[in-house]
Structure 1
Amino acid sequence: MSDTDKVFAGSIPKIYDEYLVPLIFAHYAADIAKRIAALSPSTILETAAGTGAVTRAVTAALPPGIRYVATDLNEPMLAIAAQRQGEDPRMAWRQADATALPFGDAEFDVVCCQFGAMFFPDRVKGYAEAKRVLRPEGTFVFNVWDRIEENVFADDATAALGKMFPDDPPRFMVRTPHGYHDKAVIRADLEQAGFRHISIETLAAVSRAPTPEYVAFAYCQGTPLRNEIEARDASKLQAATDLVAEALRSRHGSGAVEGKIQAIVIEAR
């Protein structure tokens, strides 16, 4: 993973929340919320909370009186999450590294993480930290993206940008968001961290957008893919976005578009 893969700064957090969350994250946030609600927890920790897609979904599904702590390493993302959540006495917000959590042992009934494990520099350490702060019989619920070929818009964007920068194609989407999908590896990492009861399943859905331009803007300017484009030629950000939009129009049409997305969902106890 490149150092820039973890940089969500500038206008990226706002675009990410306004465009990418409804495009690809909301469906899986609702899925995690349903799973957590079925566990009836009283204390929940979220790591790598981003702009709060899961936070909003989970808190909407749970009753008053719970304790929910949302954390992220990236303060600009967490600031948007807190703003979007609004006043909620159940909530606490804290900048924290998922691989070095500032909490005591056995504090939480549930630890959840949406599409964050791919960014952990040491996944076994991150999983071990989740296990450490879980109470006995607690549950770690998280998801990761499946391989990029199962996620149509991300694959289309990566292929188009490869044509613009053939000598050094931007590979952020392949390398990081879609780079940790081997179920055997995921299970082995969790077992090394001390989990013994592990459920892993594949969950497909459909990503929808009003236009190809919406999708191109979301991926090229609302993710660290933007950092890769600008590192190659900052003057070409809009041209790169337009190129991706044209590729999407060619494949999916110029009106409302839809494409398959697919994730892997894990519950570990």
Structure 2
Amino acid sequence: MVAPDVDRLFAGSIPQLYERYLVPLIFEPYAADLAARAALRTPSSVLEIAAGTGVVTRRLASTLAPSVAIVATDLNQAMLDHAASVGTSRPVEWRQADATQLPFPDETFDVVVCQFGAMFFPDKARAFSEARRVLRPGGAFMFNVWDRIDQNEFAHAVTLALEPVFPLDPPRFLARTPHGYSDTEVVARQLSEGGFVRDPDVTTLAARSRASSPDTVAIAYCQGTPLRNEIEARGPSRLLDATDAAAAAIRNRFGRGAVDGKIQAHIVVIER
């Protein structure tokens, strides 16, 4: 399914809330994993696409040797601006770029990294073709995608909680886009369509998502992702209603204090 444009809109206060709440909630464990995988290849240059607010970029900067050149890109300038304002442990190059039209010469990078961005690409085979184009022979494209939403407990609970709030047209962003690209056979086929000839190495990795309260989880998903756009399209005043319903659902299932839920993703590595 092609995601609506609203699914790719990270604007307004979303970048700040995304960084404050969502990054520690679900992204940090997988950022550490990707950076470690990149380091094992001892690259001299790394490109990150769909860098968001820079959680992987910061890990790459602290994990890779200081001599490794890191270029971090994203389609959304607001996300890059926030990433740059947070900063990294050493200089990296921040650059606005469309993953389907990368502004780099052929065979420029040893590794191309993408954390939870492939789901948002409107033409995935084209984006994969671009990743392959800018890789040097023998280089690796490594990325992760979320597993099914029922394997990610907080996202699933939030999605179900919004159904009675909007019974005629419940927001389905989380199921449709972040968790809508979990079929690894589809991923492998689209990598092939993008010109990769080798089989991808796919690892399914479970982790834990932890927050200090149910409210933190509700704010992270309802206000720090494009789910917010979908909620506010039903009426700006509905955002608090949705957030309260999500918090109540998390509270009822996981408790009133600190909460802990399962998350799960697929890590895909393929060589050029």
- TM-score of the pair, normalised by structure 2: 0.97
3-state SS in 2 of match to 1:232? coil
Indicate the residue corresponding to 1:122 in structure 2. 123
Query: After the TM superposition, which residues 236-255 of structure 1 pair with which residues of structure 2 at under 5 Å, given as runs?
Result: 236-255=238-257
Indicate the residue corresponding to 2:97 in structure 1. 96
* Structure 1 CA distance for aligned equivalents of residues 206 and 59 of structure 2: 19
Structure 2: which amino acid aligns with 1:25?
F
3-state SS in 1 of match to 2:234? helix
- RMSD of the TM alignment (CA)? 0.9
3-state SS in 2 of match to 1:94? strand
Q: How far does the alpha carbon of each residue in 1:200-228 deviate from its partner, in whole angstroms, 9 at most, with x for none?
A: 11111010001000000110000000111
Aligned length: 268
Identity of aligned residues (%): 58
- Give the structure with the higher percent helix: 1
Indicate the residue corresponding to 1:178 in structure 2. 179
3-state SS in 2 of match to 1:179? coil
Gaps of 5+ in 1: none
- The answer on whether the counterparts of 2:21 and 2:220 sit within 8 Å (CA) in structure 1 is yes
Indicate the residue corresponding to 2:13 in structure 1. 11
* Structure 1 CA distance for aligned equivalents of residues 88 and 108 of structure 2: 25
Query: After the TM superposition, which residues 109-148 of structure 1 pair with which residues of structure 2 at under 5 Å, given as runs?
Result: 109-148=110-149
Structure 2: which amino acid aligns with 1:240?
A
Structure 2: which amino acid aligns with 1:234?
P
Report the CA distance shift for 1:116/1:215 in structure 2 as closer, same or farther (over 3 A).
same
Query: After the TM superposition, which residues 7-86 of structure 1 pair with which residues of structure 2 at under 5 Å, given as runs?
Result: 7-86=9-88
Match among 194, 199, 202 for residue 201 of structure 2: 199
Q: How far does the alpha carbon of each residue in 1:48-89 deviate from its partner, in whole angstroms, 9 at most, with x for none?
A: 000000000111101111111000000010011112124733
- The answer on whether the counterparts of 1:196 and 1:268 sit within 8 Å (CA) in structure 2 is no
- The answer on whether the counterparts of 1:44 and 1:110 sit within 8 Å (CA) in structure 2 is yes
Indicate the residue corresponding to 1:190 in structure 2. 191
Q: How far does the alpha carbon of each residue in 1:206-261 deviate from its partner, in whole angstroms, 9 at most, with x for none?
A: 10001000000110000000111100121111121011101111111101101100
My pick for the range that moved more, 186-195 or 207-216, is 186-195
3-state SS in 1 of match to 2:170? coil
- The answer on whether the counterparts of 2:58 and 2:89 sit within 8 Å (CA) in structure 1 is no
Gaps of 5+ in 2: none
Indicate the residue corresponding to 1:210 in structure 2. 212
Q: How far does the alpha carbon of each residue in 1:157-186 deviate from its partner, in whole angstroms, 9 at most, with x for none?
A: 000011100100000001100000101111
* Structure 2 CA distance for aligned equivalents of residues 178 and 240 of structure 1: 20
